[in-house]
Amino acid sequence: MCGIICYIGNQNTVPILIEGLKRLEYRGYDSAGLAAINSENTGSLYLKSVGKVAELEKKVKKDNIYCDYGIAHTRWATHGKPTEINAHPHTDCTGKLFLVHNGIIENYESLKNELIKNGHKFISDTDTEVLAHLIEDNLEDNFEEAVRKALSMVEGTFGIAVVHKDFPRKIIVARRGSPIIIGIGDNEYIAASDINAFIRYTNKVIYLNDDEMALLSDNNITITDLDLKEIMKEPETIDWEYSEDEKAGFKHFMLKEIFEQPKTVENAIRGRVIDGEGISKLGGLEPVLDRMLNLKRLTFVSCGTSFYAGLYGKYLFEMLTDLDVDVDYASEFRYRNLKLSHQDGVVAISQSGETADTLAALREAKRKGALVLGLVNVVGSTIAKETDAGVYCHAGPEIGVASTKIFVSQCVILNLIALLLGRMRGLSIFEGITLIKEIKKLPGYINTVLEKSNAIREVAQKYLPYENFLYIGRHLNFPIAMEGALKLKEISYVHAEGYPAGEMKHGPISLIDEKFPTVAVATNGFTYEKMVSNIQEIKARNGKVIAVATEGNKEIGNIVDDVIYVPETIDILQPLVNVIPLQLFAYYFADFKGCDIDKPRNLAKSVTVE
Q: Annotated active-site positions, please?
A: 2, 605
DSSP letters spanning 89-102: PEE-TTS-EEEEEE
Question: What is the rounded CA–CA span in Å between residue 498 and residue 480?
Answer: 9
Question: What is the rounded CA–CA span in Å between residue 341 and residue 361?
Answer: 15
Q: For residue 101, what are the contacts with CB-CB under 8 A and spacing of at least 6?
A: 2, 73, 88, 90, 128, 131, 158, 159, 160
Nearest to 178 by CA among 194, 161, 159: 159
CA angle 190, 193, 198 (to 5 degrees): 40
Phi, then psi, of 207 in degrees rounded to 5? -95, 130
Q: For residue 118, what are the contacts with CB-CB under 8 A and spacing of at least 6?
A: 137
First to last CA, the chain: 11
Question: What is the rounded CA–CA span in Å between residue 208 and residue 93?
Answer: 29
SS3 199: coil
8 A C-beta contact, residue 35 and residue 21: no
SS3 314: helix
Counting every residue written for the chain, the total comes to 610
Nearest to 586 by CA among 219, 102, 257, 274: 257
Q: How big, in percent rounded to 5, are the helix, strand and coil portions of the chain? A: 40, 25, 40
H or E element, residue 574 = helix 574-592
CB-CB neighbours of 3 under 10 Å: 33
β-pairing, 97-102 with 90-91? antiparallel
Q: Which residue type, as a one-letter code, is found at position 81?
A: K
Question: What is the rounded CA–CA span in Å between residue 258 and residue 239?
Answer: 21
Query: What HEC string does 139-203 produce?
Result: CCCCHHHHHHHHHHHCCECEEEEEEECCCCCCEEEEEEECCCEEEECCCCEEEECCHHHCCCCCC
